[in-house]
Amino acid sequence: MSDKHLLAIPVFNEERHVLSVLREAGLYSTDILVIDDGSTDSTPKLLADASASVIRHRENRGYGASLASAFAYARQNGYRRLITMDCDQQHEPSFIPQFMATMDTGDHDIVSGSRYMTALDGDDTPPPDRRRINARITTTLNDRLSLDITDAFCGFKAYRVAALRSLRITVPGYAMPMQFWVQVWRARLRVAELPVTLIYNDPDRHFGGSLDDPASRYEHYLDVFESEMRAEEPCIPCPAPPCGATVA
């Protein structure tokens, strides 16, 4: 079993950022996996020459589906620890050693980045609707699940890969964290938060479809949360990457 961590980066049409993110990430991680979620720009061509493993979804399936592929890959390839980060330059790879140190010094299954736990130099001001929805959803999770977290949606995280066997992620899109946190609570996984810089390079970035409307997005998150809370079947590990995924 490898003692190295795996860094997994979901991408969708990230031709502007992908190579620079990979170059910087390579300073802190030797094993990098890119999940190309059906990109239609030049991202696939750029990745062909990159020093990273690549999983390609034949079509765009969503952020949650990309993370499900990353979780499966980490388990199947014997990694003990996994880090996930985004490819839009809103996560700074220089925080990776801090995630690893927190995993190593504490008895944690998940170290979750938080943009709101502590103010850091360089913090941006988030779009008001995103901050408002994050705060409301985070409060709901804490009240219903006793999680005591400060940022429900940060994708910058470290995981103990063995703990991922307790999760079965089936929500494909941006509401995946609603399912994730319920399953974390149900499996009694141990969670710590790590302050990370709050960066919004593109505050006008779209979620797509009805989710671009803040009210609809908030209601969708609540619907997914309540659906997962009603689920009674135990979580089981997925034996293979989600359908449609191929490893390059």
CA dihedral 228, 9, 88, 63 (to 10 degrees): -30
pLDDT of residue 236: 47
Mind listing the pLDDT tens digit for each residue in 204-240? 565 667 777 889 999 999 999 999 999 865 544 444 4
pLDDT of residue 214: 84
pLDDT of residue 180: 98
pTM beyond 0.85, yes or no: yes
Complete domains list, the chain, with CATH: 2-241 (3.90.550.10)
Quick one: pLDDT band at residue 241, thresholds 50, 70, 90? very low
d(CA 149, CA 114) in angstroms, rounded, equals 8
pLDDT of residue 106: 80
Mind listing the pLDDT tens digit for each residue in 115-174? 998 777 776 677 788 889 999 999 999 999 999 999 999 999 999 999 999 999 999 999
Quick one: pLDDT band at residue 203, thresholds 50, 70, 90? low
Give yes or no for residue 242 having a pLDDT over 90. Answer: no
d(CA 235, CA 187) in angstroms, rounded, equals 8
Q: What is the mean pLDDT of the chain?
A: 88
